[in-house]
Amino acid sequence: MNRIHRLVAAVLVSPILWGLAGGSAFFALVHAGTLGRDFFPRYCAGHPVNYAETYLFFVGLAVLVLRALEVAAERQRLNRIHLGPAPAGAQSPHEAQELLARLERLPQAWQKDSLVRRLRAGLEYVFRRGSSNGLQEHLAHLADADAERAHAGLGLLRLIVWAIPILGFLGTVIGITMAIASLRPTALEESMTEVTAGLGVAFDTTALALALSIVLMFVQHSVDRAGGALLEEVARRAEEELLGRFPEIDLTGPEAAAVRRLAETMIRSLEQLVRRQAELWQQALDEAQSRWATMAAEAGQQLQSALAGALADTMQVRTRQEAEARRFEETLARLAAAIHLLNARLGEPSRSGILSLERARRTGEAA
């Protein structure tokens, strides 16, 4: 719901929306004949460029009207914004937080006022520093920032004041182009009406652009003066509310000198601590680097020893396998020789053996 409210509020204060609405209402009156039937229809509604210039004028006028209303509302609330009377003695900087809470209780519509923002920034400065030293310079800086913010808030207006004469020049170019295109040397009298109409567009758009720009610049000057006067009053009120309310620290007395000496001692101690910490970190890094180098060397030696042992074992296994292979070949050779010798002997069987075998066969048959 808050988001919807913010969106509606942003739309309601949009100068483009109000400018387009005002331009539309103006042209409705022009076309209805309420504002006359010659001057405004000719200069404001005679060509699309005239329409564009008029709509831009109303947008710029809406920017100035909204800014003027904002300045008037802030000036009306200016005397109702205050921090209360200052006590007889200087307030403690810690009491600035209570004053900030008092500003927060102001209505929501007042929170964007220049004086409220200026007071809030000054109180935060005092509370943060613990004294009002340099508060006046800080308020001057805030005044410059508000002036720059007000100048930036009229950026759309400056763009419109620049764009309207450019549109007038564009209308001049278009009108002259129309006049030249309508010019027919073979029928000068018949084309003079169209040529005159084109020149009329050129002059009317330029005249309208210059007139509208002059009006906007005069109104802008008045609004800028009112805004500048408001910022000067805000600066005066902020100084009245803040300067002298909080104590300042004497930077030249003995207490300030003691504080400075204490601060210098603390700074030197911190520097020594940082230097010692850096040395410890460097030492730790050096030790870690040395440890990593030692571990890498030991790992390399272990890897080399392991590779050498594995290579030796492999050579021993290879030698053993070659010996066994030679023995196996010798065994095969001996077995082949034995088989050859046996075959030689089986090739010449004895006669008595053959007879014995024959006798045994016959005995078996007789039985």
Of the chain, the percentage scoring pLDDT greater than 90 comes to: 29
What residue type is assigned to position 339 of the chain? I
> What's the chain's average pLDDT?
82
d(CA 214, CA 158): 12
For residues 14 and 153, membership in a common domain is answered with yes
Contacts 24+ apart (CB under 8 A), 176-184: 176/202
pLDDT interval class at 88 (50, 70, 90): low
Q: What is the mean pLDDT of residues 119-137?
A: 86
Whether residue 247 lies inside any domain: the answer is no
pLDDT tens column, 45-54: 888 999 999 9
Q: Which residues of 105-137 are buried (b: 16+ CB within 10 A; e: fewer)?
A: eeeeeeeebbbbbbbbbbbebbbeeebbbebee
d(CA 283, CA 40): 88
Whether residue 38 lies inside any domain: the answer is yes
> DSSP code of 250?
-
Whether residue 27 lies inside any domain: the answer is yes
Q: Is the pLDDT confidence value at 75 over 50?
A: yes
Residue pair 212/57 in contact (Cβ under 8 Å)? The answer is yes
Give 87 or 224, the one with higher predicted confidence: 224
Please state which of the ranges 88-92, 115-119, 320-324 shows the lowest mean pLDDT: 88-92
Instruction: Quote the pLDDT of residue 33.
Output: 84
pLDDT tens column, 210-219: 999 999 999 9
Instruction: Quote the pLDDT of residue 39.
Output: 86
For residues 223 and 264, membership in a common domain is answered with no
d(CA 150, CA 234): 13
pLDDT tens column, 131-190: 778 888 989 999 999 999 999 988 999 999 999 999 999 999 998 888 888 777 666 666
Instruction: Quote the pLDDT of residue 352.
Output: 44
Whether residue 70 lies inside any domain: the answer is yes
What residue type is assigned to position 361 of the chain? R
Q: Is the pLDDT confidence value at 226 over 70?
A: yes
For residues 131 and 191, membership in a common domain is answered with yes
d(CA 217, CA 289): 74
Q: What is the mean pLDDT of residues 12-24?
A: 89
Of the chain, the percentage scoring pLDDT greater than 70 comes to: 85
- Domain containing 135: what range? 2-242
Whether residue 103 lies inside any domain: the answer is yes
Question: Which is nearest to 63 in space by CA: 177, 191, 152, 167?
Answer: 152
**Residue 147, SS3 per DSSP:** helix
Among 242, 263, 282, where does a domain finish? 242
Tokens 């720009």 belong to 213
For residues 12 and 151, membership in a common domain is answered with yes
For residues 108 and 155, membership in a common domain is answered with yes
pLDDT interval class at 234 (50, 70, 90): very high
For residues 226 and 344, membership in a common domain is answered with no
For residues 203 and 233, membership in a common domain is answered with yes
Whether residue 249 lies inside any domain: the answer is no
For residues 258 and 223, membership in a common domain is answered with no
For residues 269 and 238, membership in a common domain is answered with no
pLDDT tens column, 235-280: 999 888 888 787 776 655 565 566 667 777 888 888 888 888 888 8
For residues 188 and 322, membership in a common domain is answered with no
Residue pair 86/245 in contact (Cβ under 8 Å)? The answer is yes
What residue type is assigned to position 263 of the chain? A
Domain count within the chain: 2
Among 242, 267, 298, where does a domain finish? 242
For residues 146 and 284, membership in a common domain is answered with no
Q: Is the pLDDT confidence value at 354 over 60?
A: no
Q: Is the pLDDT confidence value at 361 over 70?
A: no
Among 242, 275, 297, where does a domain finish? 242
Please give the C-alpha separations between residue 5 and each of 14, 74, 303, in angstroms, as whole numbers.
14, 22, 76
Interior angle at CA 236, CA 230 and CA 238, nearest 5: 100
Whether residue 267 lies inside any domain: the answer is yes
Whether residue 173 lies inside any domain: the answer is yes
For residues 43 and 153, membership in a common domain is answered with yes
pLDDT tens column, 191-203: 777 888 888 888 9
